[in-house]
Structure 1
Amino acid sequence: MAWDEWEQLKASAAERQSTGMQLNGLPPEDRPNAGSPVGDLTVNQKDLAAIGDEAFKLYNRLWKEGRVTSTDSAGTSLTTQGFALGGALSHVSLRWDKQLGSVMDACALISNHMDFTKNAHQGDEIFIQRHVSSIHTLDSGFDESYAPPGKDNPVYGEKDKKDKKD
């Protein structure tokens, strides 16, 4: 490799690095919520409650309106009268009940998961707030410029008057 070629490769690499590498993120124009100053993912309790509530409402509607008991009796009646359609109708009814049960289970799972998620995130928030505030308190105890020279750092509290020697 010639010296000139080496210099060209170095210059090319420097140009690529001059644009900077962006880790753990996308350029703002590629993010769907680029205008959001809060971050990539935000969920509030109101959103979670609304999703859980809609899933619960759908579950209740499916329970009231989705079950078709008359189809079972019609299938049985047609079968006893000798119609082949009765067996087919009973088969369709059985399939419908299984599919309906699957959808209702999914709705219940979503509703319950939203309640769990709401409570879990609320607990996480409290945990994070406690740790951040304790870190701040600890950090201020090590900060030499926290108190003016010759003064005690207020983080440690006031000394008892008994401890002071006159």
Structure 2
Amino acid sequence: MHDRPDGRTLRVTEPRAVPWLSVVFGYGPMLPFVVGAVTAWVRPGDPLGEAALLLTILWGCAILLFLSGVRRGLSFRTEGGPTLTQMATMIGLFSLGFVALALATLDAAVAALVLLLVGFGAIAVLDPIAARRGEAPLFFARLRPVQIPIALLSLAALLALRL
């Protein structure tokens, strides 16, 4: 019989620089926000503009729900185990994304946009803090402050269009 360890010690080395895959998969998903906001502003009130608005909201919900899962996934590799902050952030992001999704299907675009703005705003603030605390990769401190405002500005533009 072989003895199996009850645990494992991990040694992780991570860059402060944003890896190229994170550039591609970080900024690439921000492009639909910009395209959707521009389309909605160029074609306000017509079917294309309304479709762009709805699809951008749905895209925002999908990305926010995905990022809640990223937060949970990161907690599996946090030294000492998941923290209360990580779990609360994950639950908060998921809740905001899910309720925004429900509101979007109920034709409540303004409310959905507000929730998405809160969720993405939280990511812009909390992910750099999490990176400094060792609860997220170091490069999040550089990526999120530039990446997330793209979504925030696009969502704010859509909200302004609806108000």
**TM-score calculated relative to the size of structure 2:** 0.35
Greater relative CO, 1 or 2 (CA 8 Å, sep 6+): 2
**TM-score calculated relative to the size of structure 1:** 0.35
